[in-house]
Amino acid sequence: MDPEPHRIRILSWNIDGLDMGNIRTRAKAVCENIMRETPDVVFLQEFVTEMSDIFDKHCGPSYERFQAASDAYYTAMLLKKQTVKCTETKVVPFYTSRMGRALQSAQAEVKGIPMTLITSHLESTKDHAEERKRQLTAAFRAVNEAEGSRTVVFGGDLNLRDPELAAIGSLPDNIYDLWEVTGKRKEAAFTWDLTRNDNLEWQARFRPKCRFDRLYIRHSTPRTQLKPVYFELTGLERIPGCRRFPSDHWGILAHFDKV
């Protein structure tokens, strides 16, 4: 019995597997967040092997996990067993990435709606804007290569700065930013925000904040099947004990209504 038959939720979160400090405590906090929010689809970035057994234990009963790799750090997708039927998964490395980044995708039916789910952790840091723009362009191309009958949600830690998006000609006309179309809520803008998140060792006076993590939707045609209704941050609470956040990034959680 689905208590929310008309609602679909998708979470994306960079869970900072590169920080070995409290890695298992933080991973457990991420899992508990997922089991509390119960999104249908989860995109994870910076998943590392050290987290595998924790995710197996906490999320394994409810979610199927697809990993883009098995060494270093990588993306992963969790698909809720109750509501998602996955028919195909794919990983396409960005061959010019210097950081081992890739585009991970899945064909799935989510509460009966045919969807293409795509995530990535695009090239990091301002210095690598050129490579990142190539990757984003490739990702948008992948979005639009999906069959028209499918609703496509693409997102992840895109490490994106707005001028970079402008430089590649802004968003394709048929792709929408879920934070934007749900009202551009200021409280949900900055997904990596060192004025609020002190997980990183940071001795600089300047506290940067960026909207690195984003989710996009391309609707199915001719009939739109999902209506974006809400976009929120998650992972905002400190873990009791270590007093750290689950990650240096907040998670982003998008809510849709079936229409």
Partner DNA sequence: CCAAGAGTG
Partner DNA sequence: CCACTCTTG
- Residues with Cβ within 8 Å of 131's Cβ and at least 6 positions away in sequence, in order, are 94, 96, 97, 98, 123
Q: Could you tell me the smallest distance in angstroms from the CB atom of residue 19 to DNA? A: 7
- Residues with Cβ within 8 Å of 53's Cβ and at least 6 positions away in sequence, in order, are none
Q: Which stretch binds DNA (CB under 7 A): 36-44, 107-115, 124-132, 135-143?
A: 124-132
When asked if residue 95 is in the footprint of DNA (CB under 7 A), the reply is no
Among 55, 212, 231, 245, binds DNA (CB under 7 A): 212
Burial of 10 (0-12, 13-18, 19+ CB in 10 A): buried
* Catalytic residue flag (residue 157): yes
When asked if residue 213 is in the footprint of DNA (CB under 7 A), the reply is no
State residue 35 phi and psi, 5-degree precision: -70, -20
Three-class secondary structure of residue 102 per DSSP: strand
Q: Which stretch binds DNA (CB under 7 A): 12-20, 53-61, 111-119, 180-188?
A: 12-20
When asked if residue 249 is in the footprint of DNA (CB under 7 A), the reply is yes
Q: Which stretch binds DNA (CB under 7 A): 121-129, 143-151, 174-182, 218-226?
A: 121-129
Residue of 157, 177, 193, 248 marked catalytic: 157
Q: Could you tell me the smallest distance in angstroms from the CB atom of residue 156 to DNA? A: 11
Is the link from the previous residue into 222 a cis peptide, with omega within 30 of 0?
Answer: yes
Among 67, 107, 124, 174, binds DNA (CB under 7 A): 124
When asked if residue 101 is in the footprint of DNA (CB under 7 A), the reply is no
Find tokens 């998708």 and name the residue. 10
> Smallest Cα–Cα separation from 110: which of 51, 74, 64?
64
Q: Could you tell me the smallest distance in angstroms from the CB atom of residue 99 to DNA? A: 8
When asked if residue 126 is in the footprint of DNA (CB under 7 A), the reply is yes
Residues in region 26-55 near DNA by CB under 7 A: 46
Tokens representing residue 24 in the block: 């298992």
Q: Could you tell me the smallest distance in angstroms from the CB atom of residue 50 to DNA? A: 17
Smaller CB separation from DNA, 14 or 182: 14
Residues in region 166-205 near DNA by CB under 7 A: 192, 200, 202-205
Q: Residue 248 has what DSSP assignment? A: S
Paired strand residues for 115: 108, 151
The 10 Å CB-count burial string (b at 16+, else e) for 189-228 is ebbbbbeebebeeeeeeeeeebbbbbbbbbbbeeeebbeb
Catalytic residues: 157
| Residue numbers at the binding site for DNA (CB under 7 A) | 14, 16, 18-19, 46, 98, 124-127, 157, 159, 192, 200, 202-206, 208, 210, 212, 248-249
